[in-house]
Amino acid sequence: MGNIFIRRPILAMVMAILMVIVGLVALKGLPIAQYPDISPPNIIVSTTFTGAAAQHVEQAVATPIEQQLNGVDNMLYLKSTNGNDGTLKTEVTFEVGANLDTSTMLVQNRVAQANAALPAAVKQSGVNTKKSTSLPVLVLSLVSPKGTWNSTFLTNYASINIQDRLTRVKGVGEVGILGGTDYSMRVWVRPDRLMTLGLTVSDLLAAISAQNEITPAGQLGGPPAPAGTAFTYTVKTHGRLATADEFGAIIVRSNPDGSLVHLKDVARVELGSLSYDSSGRINGKPAALLAVYQAPGSNSLEVKDSVEKAMAEVAPGFPRDMEYQTVLDTTKAISAGIHEILITLLEAVLLVVLVVFIFLQNWRATLIPLITVPVSLIATFAVFPLVGFSINVLSLLGLVLAIGIVVDDSIVVVEAVMHHIEQGMSPREATAQAMKEVTGPVIAIALILIAVFVPVAFMGGITGGGYSAVCRNHRHLRGFLCHQRPHPESCLGVEIPAGPEAWREASSGSLLCLVQPDLRPWHGTLPWLHACAHPQGHPQSAGRGCPGASGGWPAEMGALRVSPR
């Protein structure tokens, strides 16, 4: 195994090509992000208690939910925010590394247990449980340059025609609409008229609920029907009300004299917005904002391109005086960061080529690190899916740090090989001898540097999650680079003549591989040798052994043949 890559160069080339292919295939499917996913996972529980103040929301909604959520598996803490608009937002934060899908399921189960204690209005509006998303990848805006459409129209158009289309894009996890709400039928009550007629708001709510609903009316001619009935008709009623006039015609009360009190008699009815608490604006003009969040593990650059392509398909169907803009693109920072790191990698490789060429004055020797470093770099990406890494600033930073170190190893190996070639050895023998000399120091340096970085990978929390990409990439890259170098455990056959001076001249100070079982340290007159051995069956092998400090070379040994194992 030791000399297999020296004796079989085709095998070495095939393995290098295979490493590059596997690395490129893995690289194509890797997610791209600015930073690794190191933040603690959050689950958001939200609902609305219409008309309630913040204190009432806390007492009637937040407290029952918090009591059930407290102590859920892997939870770190939870925080609730209650608003005077009746909204509740509870954030449940879990430990780093907790499975987000499992955590969501656990939270949903706890919220279901709290439903029995919630007010009827909250149950009617529903309690939503969803994964918390980080910053959006893109923020798009729908605007009306000439002011034809207001914010509510733009938001409603985005909700009906664009939101669902973008949600279906591959890699998109969620599309949220910011700064606006949907249309809603607003009933502005007139308290003075209610007091005059002796009505209450509850009377209005009951009348609206009773008369604004879909009621099945049955069938005509359905079985069992009289003989001769040929058709069955389904009766369709008016159903839900749609316009302000229809809502205004709702009968609130019938008086004994036969007169009717309609909703429009005690309130002003109009089509307005569901909420007036927020609105979207771009450069002072009304706008609808769509925040696009990527799904975990997706490629943000591909998500951006796919969303822009989808918007280009939807845009031709916009009403007049409506257009869209990209107001926030977080992928620009990702692209810029990755671009800078790639430039650093290129500069490192070019500096290596320059240094090797200047000092060795040999283009063939210069090509060695120029080939091995990119092969190692690409092969490292094959490890990314196995350890859950993405292509981000920190993971590429780990590659940059490792490139500078592994390049030094390449220079050391190339220089050692060139030295032996200049001494008259063939390239194959020079490679074997050079690797015999530098393998130990190179491996020792690699282990020392890995020992510095490895402890960081075992740190917990956000720090450990962020820097683990740096140290692990460093380790994997060094490993792939070392695997491309031959590590001979034996040397090619070389005839060594008798006598220490002849041995010194023949070996040129090289470290020779020893094949005999009776190896002993030699601390004598030839300190440049690590050990000596008698040939098998030599008459002096059992008695004299290796010479001592004052001993000379035993002439009776004759020539020693050192052969490959």
Architecture of domain 4-35+334-483: Up-down Bundle (1.20)
Quote the pLDDT of residue 307. 92
pLDDT tops 80 at residue 498: no
Query: Using CA atoms, how far apart are residues 263 and 120, in angstroms rounded to an integer?
Result: 24
Quote the pLDDT of residue 544. 34
Taking alpha carbons only, the member of 400, 419, 381 closest to residue 510 is 419
pLDDT tops 90 at residue 331: no
Residues whose CB is less than 8 angstroms from the CB of residue 21 and which lie 6 or more positions away in sequence, other chains included? none
pLDDT tops 90 at residue 266: yes
Quote the pLDDT of residue 267. 93
Quote the pLDDT of residue 411. 76
143, 325 contact by CB (below 8 A): yes
- Bridge partners of 289, per DSSP, are 141, 178
By mean pLDDT, which of 435-444, 459-468, 516-525 is the weakest? Answer: 516-525
Quickly state the pLDDT bin for 370 (edges 50, 70, 90).
Answer: confident
Quickly state the pLDDT bin for 1 (edges 50, 70, 90).
Answer: very low
Quickly state the pLDDT bin for 188 (edges 50, 70, 90).
Answer: very high
Of residues 238 and 163, more confidence is placed in 163
Of residues 528 and 256, more confidence is placed in 256
pLDDT in tens, 336-347: 877 877 787 778
Quote the pLDDT of residue 483. 47
pLDDT in tens, 82-132: 988 788 999 898 887 778 888 889 999 999 999 889 998 898 888 988 877
Taking alpha carbons only, the member of 31, 24, 25 closest to residue 388 is 31
- Mean pLDDT, to the nearest integer, of 3-10? 76
- Mean pLDDT, to the nearest integer, of 229-250? 86
Q: Which CATH number fits domain 40-133: 3.20.10.10, 3.30.70.1430, 3.30.1130.10, 2.130.10.10?
A: 3.30.70.1430
**Percentage of residues in the chain with pLDDT exceeding 70?**
78
Quote the pLDDT of residue 535. 37
Q: The tokens of 346 are what?
A: 């290129």
pLDDT tops 50 at residue 329: yes
Identify the burial level of 489 via C-beta atoms within 10 angstroms of its C-beta, where 0-12 means exposed, 13-18 middle and 19 or more buried.
middle
Quote the pLDDT of residue 476. 52
pLDDT tops 90 at residue 440: no
> Which residue in the block uniquely carries the two structure tokens 């051995």?
533
Query: Using CA atoms, how far apart are residues 397 and 117, in angstroms rounded to an integer?
Result: 52
Quote the pLDDT of residue 467. 57
- Mean pLDDT, to the nearest integer, of 300-323? 90
Quote the pLDDT of residue 462. 56
For residue 234, how many other CB atoms are within 10 A of its CB?
A: 11
Residues whose CB is less than 8 angstroms from the CB of residue 24 and which lie 6 or more positions away in sequence, other chains included? 378, 381
Quickly state the pLDDT bin for 189 (edges 50, 70, 90).
Answer: very high
Average pLDDT, the chain: 75
pTM of the model: 0.61
Q: Where in the chain is the domain with CATH 1.20.1640.10?
A: 4-35+334-483
Quote the pLDDT of residue 311. 92
By mean pLDDT, which of 18-22, 42-46, 309-313, 423-427 is the weakest? Answer: 423-427
pLDDT tops 70 at residue 478: no
- Mean pLDDT, to the nearest integer, of 298-311? 87
pLDDT in tens, 44-93: 899 988 878 889 999 999 999 999 998 888 888 888 999 887 889 998 98
pLDDT tops 80 at residue 495: no
Quote the pLDDT of residue 222. 81
pLDDT in tens, 150-176: 888 888 899 889 988 998 998 888 888
Quote the pLDDT of residue 65. 92
Of residues 427 and 532, more confidence is placed in 427
Q: How many helices (H) and strands (E) does the chain have?
A: 20, 19
503, 497 contact by CB (below 8 A): yes
- Mean pLDDT, to the nearest integer, of 36-40? 69
By mean pLDDT, which of 170-174, 198-202, 226-230, 275-279 is the weakest? Answer: 275-279
Q: Where in the chain is the domain with CATH 3.30.70.1430?
A: 40-133
Query: Using CA atoms, how far apart are residues 108 and 96, in angstroms rounded to an integer?
Result: 20
Quote the pLDDT of residue 471. 55
Of residues 316 and 226, more confidence is placed in 316
Quickly state the pLDDT bin for 470 (edges 50, 70, 90).
Answer: low
Query: Using CA atoms, how far apart are residues 282 and 325, in angstroms rounded to an integer?
Result: 10
Of residues 465 and 318, more confidence is placed in 318
Taking alpha carbons only, the member of 475, 474, 478, 476 closest to residue 398 is 474
Report the alpha-carbon angle 434-437-438, nearest 5: 85
Quote the pLDDT of residue 309. 92
